[in-house]
Structure 1
């Protein structure tokens, strides 16, 4: 495997921003923007590490819920349509809760720690 990996590069960039740039910024607006950038880098790292597996879990659960094959995007659209029509299959609430938890594992895992 080629080194550095994408994750290693993102980690190095995050460490640089957090340890070198952030402490040297007197402007509160730039400090905030740097914190936003650090958050975005963390999100990208989690997406690279977890995204494919979480999407596969979503797709498998959707196929089971809807009782048919299909790609994740199409199945999510079908589920949304059924919900709008008042014909949500049994187990929809449980799927949606798991779906949101998977999304939060990438977007903001600290939220899951605070609200298990």
Structure 2
């Protein structure tokens, strides 16, 4: 495998921003934007690490709930249509809780730690 890996590059940028740039910033707007950039890098790293597994879990869970196979986007659209029509399949609430948890594993895993 070629080095540095994508994750290593993202980590290096985050470490530079956090260790060198952030402490030197006095402008609150630039400090905030740097924190946003650090958060975005964290999301990108988690997506890189977990994305394929979470997508597979999502596809399997939707397939089981709907009794159908397909792309996640299409299956989600089907589920949304059923919900709008008032025909949510049994197990929809549990699926939606797990769906949100999968999203939070990438977007903000600390939220899952605080509110299990």
Q: What is the TM-score normalised by the length of structure 2?
A: 0.98
In structure 2, the partner of 1:81 is 81
| Aligned equivalents of 1:17, 1:70: Cα separation in 2 | 40
What residue number does 1:94 align with?
94
4+ aligned runs moved over 4 Å, structure 1: none
> Greater CA deviation, 90-99 or 64-73?
64-73
Q: CA deviation at 1:69?
A: 1.4
Q: Distance in 1 between matches of 2:37 and 2:70?
A: 36
Question: Residue 39 in 1 paired to residue 29 in 2?
Answer: no
SS at 1:90 equivalent:
coil
Q: Does 1:71 align with 2:60?
A: no
Are 1:51 and 2:89 an aligned pair? no
CA distance in 2, matches of 1:44, 1:110: 15
Count of aligned pairs between the two proteins: 116
Q: Which runs of 5+ in 2 are unaligned?
A: none
When normalised by structure 1's length, the TM-score is: 0.98
